[in-house]
Structure 1
Amino acid sequence: MKPYKRGERVGGLIQQVISDILRKDISDPRLAMATITGVKMSDDLKTARVYFSVSGDENRIEKASQGFESALGYIKRKLGSEITLRYMPKINFFYDESFDYGAYINKVLKSVNAENGNDYSSVEAQS
């Protein structure tokens, strides 16, 4: 048995290619600071959920979503020339909320530590 499902391997390849496309080919200012954080493929490889992150507020996230939808045709054409698959997957872009959630948890932990009188900032500075 293979250690990874084919969908995971294809998803990783799609993530790499889309990241390269964003970095080299797309000049849309809405996507200037967007980063592809992951790709989840369906088991039949016909659907790809592409997760991205951007720094900023809700307005910036919405503009990045619009930028990805605008560039979808171009991204699919470039993917088709870079990756050989029987079917080009349907690509959907989603904002990756895990970074926001991680920042929120970090903020909560710092506030709990501050309330308890624990100050770990000197430990973090030494690391």
Structure 2
Amino acid sequence: MSDIRANRVAEQMKKELGELIGQKIKDPRIGFVTVTDVEVTGDLQQAKVFISVLGSEEEKHDTLVGLAKAKGFIRSEIGQRIRLRKTPEITFEIDEAFEYGNRIEKILRDLNN
């Protein structure tokens, strides 16, 4: 039962974080960010947010630094938007899945040619 609730909270956090990062955070270090996935532990204490950033490795690093600095604000906003007894502790990570998929696709394309 807790897995179902954790998935519901994760989906709601994904939606709210997408809106929040795009509209409310005005840090110039944060580039064009897409929230690709959110994983919440079964006890709803921790949330791992996977993001995709458009740009170079330096821009991705700067975006992670900017989001880490805004973590307190983001957590308080999420706490207000999603009614939970305790707001999960948030960590941000770059989602490597898209780059990995693109690399495999390029290799397959090269093999076919």
Structure 1 length-normalised TM:
0.83
1:123 match? none
Query: Between Structure 1 and Structure 2, whose CA radius of gyration is higher?
Result: 1
User: Does 1:36 find its partner at 2:35?
Assistant: yes
AA partner of residue 53 (structure 2): V
Q: Can you give the 5+ residue segments of structure 2 that lack an aligned partner in the other structure? A: none
1:25 deviation in Å?
0.7
User: Does 1:59 find its partner at 2:58?
Assistant: yes
1:85 match? 84
1:58 deviation in Å?
1.5
**Within 5 A, what are the aligned runs for 1:63-74?**
63-74=62-73
Relative contact order (C-alpha < 8 Å, sep 6+): which is higher?
2
AA partner of residue 60 (structure 1): E
User: Does 1:12 find its partner at 2:19?
Assistant: no
Indicate conservation of the 8 Å contact 2:48/2:93, yes or no. yes
AA partner of residue 81 (structure 1): Q
SS at match of 2:14: helix
Q: Which runs of 4+ in 1 moved over 3 A?
A: none
- Percent identity for Structure 1 against Structure 2: 35
1:57 deviation in Å?
2.1
SS at match of 1:7: helix
RMSD of the TM alignment (CA)?
1.5
1:121 match? none
AA partner of residue 35 (structure 1): T
